[in-house]
Structure 1
Amino acid sequence: MSSQIPVHQIDPNTDGPSDNKKKKPETVELYASRKKIYVREIKGLFQRIRNVSLTALMGMYFLFVWITVDGDPLIHFDLPAREFHLYGMTFFPQDFFLLAAMLIICAFGLFFITTLFGRVWCGYTCPQTVWTFIFMWVEERIEGSRNKRMKLDKQPNSPEKVARKSAKHAVWLLIALATGVTFVGYFYPIRELLADLATLNANGWAYFWVGFFTVATYLNAGWMREQVCLYMCPYARFQSVMFDRNTRVVSYDPNRGEPRGSRKKSANREDLGLGDCIDCGLCVQVCPTGIDIRDGLQYECIGCALCIDACDSVMDKMEYPRGLIRYTTENELEGRPSKLLRPRTFGYGALLMLMIGAVAFTIATRVPVELDVIRDRGAMFSYNGNGWVENTYTLKIQNMSEEAREFTIQVEGIESARLLRGGEPVSVVAGDNKAVPVVVEVDPEDLKDINTGISFRIEAVDDLDVADETDSQFIGPRPR
């Protein structure tokens, strides 16, 4: 299938294509091949901020997997046991609604920040950005500056070129391998994982996922880089919906910069009729997505602010005021007042605080025990030797605490109801789900209907606040 189509220029003053027969058709490329971006290293305020954020995020990622609390990992997703240990708390599949709520909090937090400051998430904290900048730093250290890298790629293969390229890719693979092993370490205790990997005793899935994340990191951060941000990340496509004229984003000030043009430092730009932009192209050279910020707001911009650091360094050398490229709003560029707080930010902020409050309250009031009651459907009811009506139930008690506990069982809802069997304390180990059969007997005189509400309550012997109660139905004969 061809990626080119012939395009005929139609003159609106003619009757149709027949009047343009002498004009040669123009060929338009539908698919442009990727051009490698050589990012120039730059130092400045925003690069220092990013270095701090990258160090903090990478430190948390690689260190948290090694930290233990009372012998348990700080963060451990134990899939076989269906237990999830997070910062000293243990969650079970029944708590998955909390995970959904936390994802909603993250979404509203991202929306809230985007309405205020655009794609700062992408520029400073996105995992793709974090690993890409690390890989670019390695590339800069091994292959040299931007000009040296461009020159090296154009050279024919030589021992020096092969050595530099091999060293770079070897370091990339080591970082990718450490990333993959660490990620799997959050599901498979890291100390056991390293020992099992080294002795070839790990299961096949462990090797598969380590390999998968190693390859994914190597390809995404080393080879694809900006292609992930431009074509694979959905946020790049829908983030503009959250922008408005008051959103503070990285912008070029054309009122100051235009008309752009080169000049000597000693030249008077006003006499030359030029703006502050000297058209050095440094803002383009430092951009990790290869765009020219002077062309206006573009979805490819990840808000990393490297162009601000580059432009400020040029303005300092030219002794011009900083801020030709800066974080600003569309209203400010047009000389209009800009509002930080507006209905949209209030809406996202209110929803965000509501969700955080709800999750915090749920976790704070969470009781580490759960009771499910299943009524025996094999028999509606039966009579015992005393003439009382019996119903059989199975109580499923899940101990979601970190230690074994004993629970007492009580039945309520009918005055004469009592446990005929299964009333003794039940011991449940930490994280276990235990089924307990019980029989409840009721004086038939207390049954006013076929179905009568009844409830079961369990309480921990060592802590009465650790309790749960579940309603059920007691079925008896039809009243006379």
Structure 2
Amino acid sequence: MKFDIKEEDMIIKPYKQEGPIYVREQKGFFQKIRRNLGWFLMLTFVLIPWIPYNGQQAILLDFGTQQFKIFGATFLPQDFMILAWIFMVGAFALFFVTTWLGRVWCGYTCPQTIWMLMFTWVEHRVEGTRNQRIKLDKSDWDSKKIAKKTAKHAIWLFISVFTATSFMAYFIPAKELYLDMFTLQWSGLTSFWVFLFAFCTYGNAGFLREKMCTVACPYSRFQSVMFDKDTLVVTYDSGRGENRGRRKRKDDPKQKGLGDCVDCNLCVEVCPAGIDIRNGLQYECINCGLCIDACNETMNKFGYQPDLIKYQSEHQQAGKKSNPFRLKIVGYGAITVLIMVTMVIWAFNRTPIEASVIRDRNALYRVNYEGLVENPYTLSVINKTQHDLTYTVSLKGLPNAKLTAPVTTHIAGGDMALIPVTVTADGYDLKGKRIPIQFTIESQQDATISITKDSYFYKN
């Protein structure tokens, strides 16, 4: 028996067509969620640097002075342990969400996806629908094409520069940044970073697009280790949809031996990654649900049941019951909550003052004209609040010793001061050559703002 197999049937088709992806604009339930969430996240990103707090910018990460101000609290490089807590919370929260809902981070909240769809939205408004954009790109260059392309790229560049400037407002006071921009007084360093970030935004969202998700992003590569048979992902019901085929609305699919899939190809045309979800789960899928909206729209037109494409787990697809409280997802959730609680406790117990004791190692002690032993110290004190405070210094550990120090020391918010102090004691009253002592620095305005630092008193 011989089989007549055509050569073209032996070619394995790629997951998407070669060349640029022309994303079709789609409306629907999941698209509405994404668009509203995208607008909220973008507005939050832009407006946060403009929030005032106690006459200052609420959030300012000033690398020049190494002061990071967040709603009244000033964090210094010594406090960067909080970054470790934040990264751990973010990592385990991502593991939790991915195990539960797949790549919804990529589809709904990833900046790359949000800006990519925003650029696509601009493209649709300037150049037209998907078919019009394809036709425009294939047409010869004329005045109409040049005008549309110029307008599109001008808007893209404006969005990119505005995005980069909004990002820099987290590191440079927003009012100062924009005032210098309009008066053309940006420094070379500021200009470099703004245009670098603008170039990256313009290139990623305008040209690389889905390649960042399918090629460059490491998350798409290791996400599969977090998936299990209960993870909710976008799936196509092949049992109901096959055999797929085109038909008229009044046709009876059973008489034609067809399933519910009308092979309209809209699920592919609306996909930002350009994949065909009907080919099964693929790592390129960002779980955005656009194909669900497109398919439901078609099912509604033909009078078929919705959700031929929908969010469901492998177990649900096989007709089994999914377990939402499995050990993996409970573990990720518990660890996330535990780290968040630990971070909050650390933040509340954080003392808004930092101090260190500096000794002159060339002269640990000296004997004055009265025969008493003197030890000089320098106290380095940092006011980690955003308002001015006055501090006093006291001594513990040497009952009969005399502390010579300024009565009060005024330190501006976020500043550091060096306080010279001297401890004097009678050597005959002391046992041993090295006696532990403690310096206590306390705020006069708030007794809860204090710190105690250990040191030693030396004698001959």
Place the TM-score, normalised by the shorter chain, in its bin.
over 0.9
1:168-207 pair list within 5 angstroms: 168-207=152-191
Q: State the distance in 2 between where 1:330 and 1:463 align.
A: 59
TM-superposition CA deviations, 1:90-140 (whole Å, max 9, x none): 222221111221122111111111110011011111110111111000000
Which of 378, 385, 394 lines up with 1:394 in the alignment? 378
Could you tell me which amino acid in structure 2 is paired with residue 433 of structure 1? M
Query: Aligned-pair distance for 1:167?
Result: 0.9
The question of 1:287 aligning with 2:293 is answered no
Cα distance in 2 for residues equivalent to 1:439 and 1:429: 24
Q: How does 1:114-193 map to 2 (within 5 A)?
A: 114-193=98-177
Residue 210 (1) aligns with residue 230 (2): no
Corresponding residue number in structure 2 for 1:252: 236
User: In the alignment, which residue of structure 2 is the partner of 1:448?
Assistant: 431
Q: Aligned partners of 2:151, 2:143: CA distance in 1, in Å?
A: 12
2:449 aligned residue (452, 466, 480): 466
Alpha-carbon separation, structure 2, partners of 1:157 and 1:46: 37
| Secondary structure of 2:221 counterpart | helix
- Residue of structure 2 aligned with 1:436, choices 419, 423, 428: 419
Letter in 2 for 1:367: T
Unaligned runs of 5+ in 2: 1-9
2:247 to 248, 253, 263: 263
Of 204, 208, 219, which aligns to 1:220? 204
Which range is displaced more, 65-74 or 213-222?
A: 65-74
Indicate which of 100, 103, 109 corresponds to 2:87.
103
Q: Cα distance, 1:176 vs. partner?
A: 0.9
Partner SS state of residue 80, structure 2: helix
- For the Cα contact (< 8 Å) 1:260–1:279, is it kept in 2? yes
Share of identical aligned residues, percent?
46
- CA offsets per residue over residues 372-430 of structure 1, 9 Å max, x none? 112221123233345443222111111111221111111112333331x2152211111
The structure, 1 or 2, with the larger RCO (C-alpha pairs under 8 Å, 6+ apart) is 2
CA displacement at 1:288 relative to structure 2 = 0.5
Residues of 1 paired with 2:430 and 2:56: CA distance?
A: 50
Answer yes or no: is 1:355 the counterpart of 2:331: no
Q: What letter is aligned with 2:436?
A: G
Alignment check: 8 A CA contact 1:410 1:423 kept? no
* Distance in 2 of aligned mates of 1:151 and 1:413: 85
Following superposition, the deviation at residue 441 of structure 1 comes to 2.4
Maintained 8 Å contact 1:229/1:300: yes
- The aligned length equals 450
Q: Secondary structure at the match of 2:323?
A: coil
Aligned residue number for residue 302 of structure 1: 286
Residue 51 of structure 1 aligns with an amino acid whose one-letter code is R
- Asked if 1 retains the 8 angstrom alpha-carbon contact of 2:383 and 2:416, the reply is yes
TM-score, length basis structure 1: 0.89
- Residues 432 and 324 (structure 1 numbering): CA distance in 2 closer, same or farther, change over 3 Å? same
Partner of residue 306, structure 2: 322
TM-score (norm 2): 0.93
After the TM superposition, which residues 32-47 of structure 1 pair with which residues of structure 2 at under 5 Å, given as runs? 35-47=19-31
* Contact 2:17-2:274 within 8 A present in 1 as well: no
2:72–2:385 contact (8 Å) kept in structure 1 = no
| Farther off after superposition, 173-182 or 284-293 | 173-182
Give per-residue Cα distances to partners, 1:316-352, cap 9 Å, x unaligned.
1121111111111011111122111211112211211
**Do structure 1's residue 76 and structure 2's residue 60 form an aligned pair?**
yes
- Measured in 2, the distance between the counterparts of 1:175 and 1:261 equals 42
Which residue of the partner structure matches residue 21 of structure 1?
Answer: none
Task: Provide the C-alpha distance between the structure 2 equivalents of 1:29 and 1:323, rounded to a whole number of angstroms.
Answer: 26
Give the aligned residue type for 1:318.
Answer: F
Deviation, structure 1 residue 42: 0.8
Matched AA of 2:445: D
RMSD: 2.1
- Aligned partners of 2:274 and 2:397: how far apart in 1? 71
Partners of 2:366 and 2:398 lie apart in 1 by 17
Instruction: Indicate conservation of the 8 Å contact 1:414/1:446, yes or no.
Output: no
Q: Mark the runs of 5 or more structure 1 residues left unpaired by the alignment.
A: 1-25
Paired letter, 1:352: T
Q: Which amino acid aligns with 2:425?
A: V
